[in-house]
Structure formats: C-alpha cells, structure tokens
Amino acid sequence: MIQRSKIYRSKVRERKETGEECILAQKKTEEFEKNQGAEKSGENKAMEAGQYLDFFEHEAGMFNIVGPKARKIIGQDCNIISACAARPYPLVVDSAKGSVIRDVDGREYIDLVAGIAVMNAGYSNPEVKAAISSQLEKMTHCAYGDFFAEPPVKLAKKLEELSSYSKVFYCNSGTEAVEAAIKLAFWKTKRQGLISFYNSFHGRTLGSLSLTCSKARQKEHFPAIRTAHSHYAYCYRCPFKLEYPSCGIECAKELENLIFRRELSPKDTAAVFVEPVQGEGGYIVPPPEFHREVRQICTDNDVLLVADEVQTGCFRTGPFLAMENFGVRTEISCLAKALGGGLPMGAMLADRKLMDWPQGVHSNTFGGNLLASAASLSSLEFLEKENIKNRVKELGFKMKQLLRELQENFPFIGDVRGLGMMVGVEIVKPDKSIDPIRRDRILREAFKEGILLLPCGDSVIRFSPPLVITDEELDSGLEKFQKALNKAGT
Ligand SMILES: Cc1ncc(COP(=O)(O)O)c(C=O)c1O
C-alpha cells in the first residue's frame, strides 16, 4: 500500500514537472463535459465529477472541495492557458471582500496571502472602488508616456511624501520596475555588471531574471546579463554554518571579501540589488546589521544599492518601505504588487540627481495608467488614514506568536520568522532538512479547511494577509491552519 502510494506520488510529481497533469485534467474534463448530458443525482454527479481532476483528487482527496463550476473552468483553463504557471490547489475565484474570497461554487476562504502581498487595503475596499469608478467615468488610459495627466502626478507627490525619493518612473509590474532600475544603473554608471543574492527573486523578464537566484527551473535555457551572486543572511540555514551574532555578519562581508575581489570588480558593477526581506526565496528576514553592512560596502566601493521593495513595500512590514526597519537608504527603490491597490502598477523611485536620464531613454505604454494611478493613490491614502504601520506591527507580532505556539506542538515546524505582516513557516524533516512534500500537503489541507496560503523557498509556507484583516479572521485562519497541520502531520 505504502509502496503503491509512493509510486503514485512519484508519478504525480513527474507529471507536475512536465505540466502533464494539466493535460490530464483537461482530457478528463472533456470526458466529463460529454457526460454532462446524462442527468444524475446531485451527490452522484459530484462523485462523478470528482474523477476528473486527477491530480488534485487522488493526491489530495478534494472530492467535496472542487465544485462543478470550478471543475469546468479548470478544464477549460488547462486547455487554453499556458501551463507554465504552477497552481498549488484548485481555487477558482469569483468575488471577494476584505480578506475573504468566494469561489465560483460559493465556498468561502480566508485569504492569508492577499493575492501574493497585493491586496494590502483589502478586496473591494470601498474607497479604492470609489476612486476607480470616478476615474472610470472620465477616461482609463491616455498614453502617459506621450501626454500629461493629473492622477499620476498626484500619486508621485504621495510617493515622494511617503518615501522621500524625489523622482518617479512608472511601469506596470515588479519585473518592469526592476528592469527600469537595471537600465538606470547601467545608464548612470556606464558599467554593465550586477550583483544580487542567493535565494533572491527579482522577476522573470531577462534582466530581472539575471538577478533572480531562487530556483534553477526559473532560469533554465535563458540567457543572462553578467551577474554575480553573494550569500544572504539566511540564519536558519547559515551558508557559513555560523551563529548570529557571533558570526559578525560574514555573509554580508562576502560581497567585499569574495565577490568584488574574485568575481566582479566594483569598477564593472553598476548596482547591487537586494530584497529587504527575501520573498519568493523563503520569507527570509536578515538581522539588522546585514543591510547596514551591505550599504557600507556599496558606499565604500562607489556602487549603487537598489532595494527591491516589490513585495515588502507599501506598509507590508510596517513602515512604507521595509528598508526603514533597518535604517538603510538605498539609491533606488522598486515598488509594484500592493502599489496599485489591486490594479497593475509598478514604480521605480530615486532622487533627481540620480534619475537624470534625458527624454527617450526609457518609457512604456501603460506606465502611469490613469485608472491604476487613481486606485494606487486611494489605496495608499486609505492605509495611511488607518494608521496601518502600527496595526501591521501589532498583527505581525500576534501572528508570529501564535505560529510559534504551534511550533511547540508540531516538530516539523522548524522555523517561524517574519517582519510585520510577512511571516514564513519553514517545514522540516526530523534532521532539519527540507520537506517540500509535507509543506505542499499542509497547503492543500489548509485549502480544504478554507484558508489560502502559498509556498515559497524550498520548504516554506508564507503568510502575507491583507493588512486590514480583522483579529477574528486572523484567529479563525490560524485555527484552521492548526487543523491542517494536524491532518498533514500524520
Ligand atoms: C521581490 C520581488 N521582486 C520582483 C517581483 C516580480 O514582480 P512581478 O511578478 O509583478 O513581475 C516579485 C514577484 O513576486 C517579487 O516578490
């Protein structure tokens, strides 16, 4: 029995790797759709339908979770949408309010990841909706790269007020904000080398992908800009097998002691890119000295420092920019995700002395989009008005504390770490090695319990709820998480 299930799992993994499970689900759905003509009783129909989501059904026993509408849409999705994205469980969304998402079959979920740290002001936020509606009545798009308009200027003033950077470049996503920072650094320094950190994630277009160093799969077969990688302060799995604080932050010093000496001269380095807290790489929070040391090394070697605040920015960790937690100011800061209040919006921030490139060097079609600018401004104003910085500190502390209590009862929780409302739980085997299979099982059990969580790193579960989540929702979400741990623990 165990052997059979092992073989099944390895087959499933094999299919997951190749995207074959999607094709399988699609074929099964086609079969299902053909059989839809024959009337069957509700329960039988649900059981019948259950056969058609092969991967999720057999591996995770989701017979009663995936409703008929969801099945149909997943089948159609697999047929027509590129399979390159990885979905951890079969959620088909329909509507949402605050921190709760309703799926197409009417089942509700507490969203503990906020659409990957995007919905900081909550779903269907009335103020953001009103701002969008009001702009919608006027116009949605104006080729802001060619003409002028007020909404992006108002937003830029708000960004200056919140961040103290005096110049803004708009784009539509995180990867574009990072690309813009790469280009500005190249343009300004006339150097063409970059440095980033192991486990980092900076996006998937070719420039940002050169910096990304999270999973080899993300880079396979793609060419790169010259980039050297240095070690981040992943204290739970210290690359130098040292202990904080006696380590003396050896990892940060590697930049100077190894990279600049042996791999990439500072004279060829346009910029060092760093996430204040590593996101996709495993919600890794460095000790405060790490960023200060990196800052000092960049200053000493006359190299620009760029903070990728795509995930950490917009109050996710308390202050508007997460680098404020470390008392570090970088030359460039990149924003996206939560910036648009749920609409696509990215920005690169720098001071006017640095961002002094002339007309025509860089631009795009949708950057500063009117609808996105209106949503962004109202979302930031809302978060400010709610004094969200303090609330994030309070809720983040509570979330970490409750998860640490769970850690005492579940030995496979190796580490609980976080900054503000960005908390990671690392799932491990008894010998502390990674356990992605159990991690994925927990995610699916959590989904069955009615909470949405996502993976990151090799073996980590990330918590990044909307910043407006209520205490009751958080308590209920963590109770459900405990149930999921119980089920996945056996
Ligand atoms: C730190 C960081 N930078 C860049 C990106 C890329 O953003 P996008 O997916 O909007 O291109 C992400 C996305 O997860 C991110 O977390």
The domain ranges of the chain are: 1-87, 91-112+388-490, 126-385
H/E stretch holding 110: strand 108-111
Name the amino acid, one letter, at 243. Answer: E
Q: How far apart are the first and last CA of the chain?
A: 16
User: Does residue 175 have its Cβ closer than 6 Å to ligand 1?
Assistant: yes
Q: Say what the pLDDT of residue 78 is.
A: 87
Q: What's the DSSP call for residue 458?
A: T
What average pLDDT does this structure show over 363-373? 97
Q: Which amino acid, 118?
A: V
Rounded Cα distance between 451 and 444, Å, is 9
Q: Residue 475: is its pLDDT beyond 70?
A: yes
Please tell me whether the peptide bond between 358 and the residue prior to it is cis, using omega within 30 degrees of 0: no
pLDDT digits (tens, 9 = 90+) for 116-169: 999 999 999 999 999 999 999 999 999 999 999 999 999 999 999 999 999 999
Residue 337: DSSP 8-state: G
| Residue 462 CB–ligand 1 contact under 6 Å | no
Q: What pLDDT, on the 0 to 100 scale, is given for residue 59?
A: 63
Distance separating alpha carbons of residues 315 and 310, to the nearest angstrom: 11
Residues comprising the chain, all counted: 490
The verdict on the CB of residue 308 being under 6 Å from ligand 1 is: yes
CA pair distance 394, 375, nearest whole angstrom: 26
Q: What's the topology of domain 126-385?
A: Aspartate Aminotransferase; domain 2 (3.40.640)
Structure tokens at 404: 């640490």
Ligand 1 pocket: which of 171, 173, 175, 176 to mutate (most atoms <8 Å of CB)? 175
The predicted-structure confidence for 259-278, as pLDDT tens digits, reads as follows 999 999 999 999 999 999 99
- The CATH superfamily of 91-112+388-490 is Aspartate Aminotransferase, domain 1 (3.90.1150.10)
* Helices then strands, each counted (H, E), the chain: 16, 15
Q: What is the predicted pLDDT for the residue at 321?
A: 98
Query: What pLDDT is recorded for position 60?
Result: 66
The CB of 284 under 6 Å from ligand 1? The reply is: no
Distance CA 23, CA 19 (A): 7
pLDDT of residue 54: 67
Q: What residues are paired with 123 via a beta bridge?
A: 98
CA pair distance 480, 459, nearest whole angstrom: 20
Ligand 1 centroid to Cα of residue 300, in Å, is: 29
